[in-house]
Amino acid sequence: MKSNKIASIALLLWVATIAVFAWFFIRGNTTAGTDGRTAVVLQPAERDLILAEMRGLLSSTQGILEGANQGDVKRIIQSSRAAGMAAAADVNPVLMAKLPLEFKSLGMSVHHDMDEIAKAAEGGTPAAEILKMTANTLTKCVACHSAWQLKAGN
């Protein structure tokens, strides 16, 4: 009887731990922002890392646009690959847990889109279609920046 009670308590604690982790994984570490957006609260170094990644995405987008404008397929491929899924492979799991699910989903889909742009360029897709793909990806960037702000916390 006593071992059943201990097992039940252990199971209940396990379920509660999983539920709290799932809630935190979905919600992230957020608070109300100062301008109507939701603020994601990160350590200063984590915030700097995310902002550096965003600057990298912006730089890659510029490279894609310049490559398409100049007819430089190699530049399109190089720029888009630099921001593909490989660029997101080494993200710290603790940092990922702090990011809300929608934020993570948008970010990962942008990295995936960059790989798709590289594949399209490698396959000889015309520049007009590459530009359309890039514009669709930028829509995700705008949606993310419209919904979220990054706040340095303690």
In this prediction, residue 25 carries a pLDDT of 59
CA–CA dist 92, 46 (Å, integer): 9
Whole-model pTM? 0.82
Residues 24-55: tens digit of each pLDDT: 656 678 998 999 999 999 999 999 999 999 99
pLDDT digits (tens, 9 = 90+) for 108-148: 999 999 999 999 999 999 999 999 999 999 999 999 999 99
* Half-sphere exposure (Cβ direction) of 46: Cα atoms closer than 13 Å: 19
Q: Helices 101-122 and 2-27 meet at what angle, rounded to 10?
A: 60
Tokens 């520049």 identify what position? 127
DSSP, res 87: G
CA dihedral 117, 123, 127, 129 (to 10 degrees): -60
List, in order of start, the domains of the chain with CATH numbers: 2-152 (1.20.120)
Residue type, 10: A
CA distance 105 to 101: 6
Task: Out of 8-12, 92-96, 114-118, pick the least confident.
Answer: 8-12
Diameter of the chain measured on Cα atoms: 77
> Taking the mean position of all CA atoms in its chain, how far away is CA 117?
17
Quickly state the pLDDT bin for 1 (edges 50, 70, 90): low
